[in-house]
Amino acid sequence: MLRINDTHIKRDNVTKFLGVLIDENLSWKAQIANVSSKISKSIGILYKASHILNKFQLKQLYSAFIHSHLNYGNIAWGSTYKSKLESLYRRQKHAVRVINFKDRFTHSKPLFQDMKILNVFEINIFQIILFMFKCKLNISPKVFRTLFTVKPPNKYTLRSQFLIEPLVKNKVEEFSISFRGPHLWNKIIIPMPNFLNFEIASLSLFKKNLKHHISSLFDIKKYF
């Protein structure tokens, strides 16, 4: 315990910064638990509203009460072990089934795609790749523009789009944006020729195509 002028300063293991709970180990447990609690309450609202509202109106409630929490700061707290995100994913699937008036045995993937909604895993990948896109176009904050390095071209290509993935020592370092950003760019964007013309694509068009592509990926959890 810290002591200043005979006054004991209590140590906090968790602090809130810009609405995101940050714990001393950067495990994001507190933040995920907080988001999970908010979603659970919102599912109750959706369920009660489903008796009087239609699908379109329920989706609007979903965007306001659930997606907003899953989306905010996901690029940071969503970069963690997939097991920690499973509770959010289960609640998200529950919400989507309520919106579509389906029972708990209904497969959720087609519902997400039909509603054009990304799950919590897809949101994280979407935000990271969109961030990388902004870095490539030099429209991100300046502090990040020199964080990533393009691999030098070889005799088979005159121009390289691959990014150098820094060496990491453990799983925690793999969740850092300095590694995860280039890694996801190389694994998801590089194999898609249509995305390599990103210089001539508008931000809105890139976001639209990226969202569609990510939602079509079969095993999104393998990137966690």
pLDDT digits (tens, 9 = 90+) for 100-145: 999 989 999 999 999 999 999 999 999 999 999 888 888 888 888 7
List C-alpha distances in Å: 168 to 41, 125, 180, 190. 39, 19, 10, 21
Bridge partners, residue 3, by sequence? 8
Task: Note the pLDDT of residue 68.
Answer: 96
Domain boundaries, the chain: 2-117, 125-223
Read off the tokens for 98: 């309520």
Please give the backbone phi and psi of residue 22, each rounded to the nearest 5 degrees, phi first.
-115, 120
Contact indicator for 136, 198 with CB cutoff of 8 Å:
yes
60-100 confidence digits (pLDDT tens)? 999 999 999 999 999 999 999 999 999 999 999 999 999 99
Neighbours of 49 (CB within 10 A): 14
- The C-alpha atoms of residue 48 and residue 34 are separated, in whole angstroms, by 22
Full-model pTM: 0.88
